[in-house]
Amino acid sequence: MSRINTVLGPISAEELGLVAIHEHIGYGMPGSELDTKWWKTPEERYEETVPKLRKFHENGGGTFVDATGICNGRDIDYYKSLSRKTGVHIVACTGFVGGDTALPHFARASVDYLARHFIHEITVGIGDTGSKAGVIKVGVSRGGRMTELDKRIYRAAARAAVATGVPILTHLAIDARPAIDIFNEEGLPLDRVLFGHVDDGVNAESTPDTWIIEQGGRLGFDTFGYETELPDPPFWARPRKDRMEHFLRFVQGGHADKVLASADANCSPLGWPGVKGHTVNYIFEVLIPDLRANGVDEATINKIFVENAADFLSIRN
């Protein structure tokens, strides 16, 4: 039977329910916890986060995939407590958002060290929490070109994915050629990779989305809700209509089995104000109604948020 590692232990694919595939309990840059102005107590974070996850659960959400890498505020004991309190399955990741958020200890490490570290977090556990990672996060550093460190992390992640059967989520899919070369060299089937943020306002134009699908990869339209219609939009915002048209091109163009969608929201951002008014519940409040209004049927909505997510997340042996 296919299974997925959550912070409270393995579950079957059937138990996942509707999945938010790329979200954050709380994302911050390395060191933000040292800035006393921004340091939130565990109680404050809890108070800010629990209602959002409860609402997610009430709306019909089953599983929240936390794409916060090592060094960006990942906190497994906290996730376990949130999952117990709200009934939402939480999947934690190993890996890094990008080479530029890996602290020096990891930034200087070899591919072999990084691969063994990821494998340990997937098969033995993360620190002494007893929880195992369910996905591996990698990403492109700021600047839009994969750095030597990004490539080292991608290669280590590919080795860990091949060894454990856990999939890879990427932050950004620009500069996709070197990434796909590495995955091919390591023998990782590309349907084990979700190429993320293909829809954001800054990177959508320079992301070779069709080519990625032709190679066998999956596309993550995972920044839904960061739209120019917000009162104070972030720099990666995009008009709602543009993003929806982009998504529908793939959903209605024969690739509904290759796309996943999410809101990339922060329940409680760390060391930055976050984007006001944007939460994981955008999926239920705006995105799914918008899909229906555009003629996407219930079976396709179920495919995107339930079936594709289950197929992607299931550990492949």
Contact 83, 46 (CB under 8 A): no
State the minimum distance, in angstroms, from the CB of residue 300 to Zn ion: 24
Instruction: Decide whether 261 or 296 has the Cβ nearer to Zn ion.
Output: 261
Rg for the chain, CA atoms, rounded: 18
**One-letter amino acid identity for 118?**
F
State the minimum distance, in angstroms, from the CB of residue 130 to Zn ion: 25
264 lines the binding site for Zn ion (CB under 5 A): yes
User: In the window 282-311, what residues touch Zn ion (CB under 5 A)?
Assistant: none
Alpha helices in the chain (DSSP H): 42-59, 76-86, 104-107, 111-123, 148-164, 176-185, 209-215, 240-250, 282, 288-293, 298-302, 308-313
Sheet with 193-195, edge to edge strand ranges: 93-95, 135-139, 168-171, 193-195, 218-221, 259-261
User: In the window 24-43, what residues touch Zn ion (CB under 5 A)?
Assistant: none
State the minimum distance, in angstroms, from the CB of residue 206 to Zn ion: 18
**Cα angle, residue 244 at apex, residues 307 and 19 outer, rounded to 5°:** 25
Cα(187)–Cα(205) distance, rounded to whole angstroms? 29
The residue from 18, 20, 65, 67 that contacts Zn ion (CB under 5 A) is 67
- Site residue total, Zn ion (CB under 5 A): 2
Token couple for 132: 């195992």
State the minimum distance, in angstroms, from the CB of residue 36 to Zn ion: 25
State the minimum distance, in angstroms, from the CB of residue 50 to Zn ion: 21
Binding segment for Zn ion (CB under 5 A), chosen from 59-67, 104-112, 181-189, 290-298, is 59-67
Binding segment for Zn ion (CB under 5 A), chosen from 84-92, 107-115, 243-251, 259-267, is 259-267
Q: Applying CB under 5 A, which residues contact Zn ion? A: 67, 264
